[in-house]
Structure 1
Amino acid sequence: MPRVPRRTTKCLSWKPDHATSATVSETAPEIFDRSARRLRRDRAAPGFAGHDFIRATMLDGIAERLDAVTRNFTDVLDLGCFDGAFVAPPGARVVRCDAGFAFAAGSSGVQADEDRLPFADASFDLVVSAGVLDQVNDLPGALTLIRRTLRPDGLFLGAFVGAGSLPALRGALRAAESDRPAARLHPQIDVRSAGDLLMRAGFTLPVADVETLDVGYRDIGRLYGDLRGMAASNVLAQRQPLRADTLARTIAAFAAAADDRGRTHETFQMVFLTGWSPDPSQPKPARRGSATASLGDALRR
Structure 2
Amino acid sequence: MEETKVPQIFDEKAQSLARKRAQSRMAKTGPSFLLIRAAEDAASRIADINRQFERGVVLSSVDMRDTIISELPAGRQPKNLDWYDSLEAMNGEYDLIISLLELQTENDLPGALVRLRHNLKADGLFTAALFGGDSLSDLRQTLYTVDSAVFGGATARVYPMIDHHQAAALLGRAGLNLPVVDKDRVKVSYGKLETVVSDLRDLGLTNTLTARHKAPLPKGYLQAIKAAYPKTDDGKFPAQFEILWLTGWSPHESQQKPLKPGSAKMRLADALGTQEKKV
Query: Corresponding residue for 1:32?
Result: 10
Aligned residue identity for 2:228:
A
| Structure 2 counterparts to residues 34-113 of structure 1, below 5 A | 34-48=12-26, 49-50=29-30, 52-85=32-65, 86-88=67-69, 90=77, 92-99=79-86
Deviations 1:116-155 (A, max 9, x none): 46535xx111000011212111111111111110100000
Q: Which amino acid aligns with 2:162?
A: I
Distance 1:197 1:299 in 2: 39
Amino-acid identity (%)? 34
Runs of 5+ unmatched residues, structure 2: 70-75
Alignment partner of 1:264 is 2:264: no
Shift of 1:44: 1.4
| Alignment pair present for 1:148 and 2:118 | yes
Q: 2:136 aligns with which of 136, 154, 166?
A: 166
Q: Give the structure 1 partner of residue 162 of structure 2.
A: 189
Is contact 2:55–2:78 with CA below 8 Å preserved after alignment? no
Q: Partner residue of 1:283? A: 256
Q: What is the CA RMSD across the aligned residues, in angstroms? A: 2.0
8 Å contact from structure 2 (residues 19, 61) kept in 1 = no
Aligned-partner Cα distance in 1 for 2:193–2:249: 40
Contact 2:42 2:68 in 1 (8 A): no
1:251 matches 2:231: no
**Distance apart, 1:37 and its partner CA:** 1.4
- TM-aligned CA deviation for residue 69 of structure 1: 0.7
Q: CA deviation at 1:182?
A: 0.3
Q: TM-score, normalised by structure 2?
A: 0.86
Give, as a single letter, the amino acid of the residue that structure 1 aligns with 2:85: D
Residue 217 of structure 1: how far off its partner (Å): 1.0
Which protein shows a greater Rg? Answer: 2
| Native 8 Å contact 2:127 2:246 kept in 1 | yes
The answer to whether the 8 A contact 1:117-1:145 is kept is: no
**What CA distance in whole angstroms lies between the structure 1 residues aligned with 2:30 and 2:60?**
18
Q: Which residue of 1 aligns with 2:181?
A: 208
SS in 2 for 1:36: helix
SS of 1:156's partner is: strand
Q: Deviations over 1:95-118 (max 9, x none)?
A: 21113xxxxxxxxxxxxxx3x465
Contact persistence 1:81–1:96 (CA under 8 A): no
Q: Which secondary structure state, in structure 1, belongs to the residue aligned with residue 68 of structure 2?
A: coil
Higher relative contact order (CA 8 A, sep 6+): 1
How far off its partner does 1:243 sit? 2.7
Shift of 1:289: 1.4
2:199 maps to what in 1? 226
Answer yes or no: is the 8 Å Cα contact 1:81–1:129 preserved in 2: no
Contact 1:159–1:271 at 8 Å: present in 2 too?
A: yes
User: Per-residue CA shift, 1:48-78, capped at 9, x if unaligned?
Assistant: 2456111111112111110111112121111
Q: Which amino acid aligns with 1:300?
A: T
Partner Cα distance (1:57, 1:38) in 2: 24
What secondary structure sits across from 1:61 in the alignment?
helix
Alpha-carbon distance between aligned partners in 2 of 1:246 and 1:167, rounded to the nearest angstrom = 19
Letter aligned with residue 58 of structure 2: D
In the superposition, the TM-score normalised over structure 1's length comes to 0.80
Q: Is the 8 A contact 1:51 1:226 kept in 2?
A: no
Given that residues 205 and 275 in structure 1 are in contact (C-alpha distance below 8 angstroms), is that contact kept between their aligned partners in structure 2? yes
1:300 to 270, 274, 278: 274
C-alpha distance in structure 2 between counterparts of 1:276 and 1:190, whole Å: 20
> Which residue in 2 is equivalent to 1:119?
91
Kindly tell me: are residues 59 and 118 of structure 1, through their superposed partners in 2, closer, same or farther at Cα, counting changes over 3 Å?
closer
2:201 aligned counterpart, secondary structure:
helix
1:229-262 alpha-carbon deviations (Å, 9 max, x no partner): 22121121111143334333112112xx211222
- Number of equivalent positions: 258
Taking the aligned partners of 2:138 and 2:179, their CA distance within structure 1 comes to 31
**Paired residues of 1:50 and 1:229 also in contact (CA < 8 A):** no
Aligned-pair CA distance for 1:194? 0.5
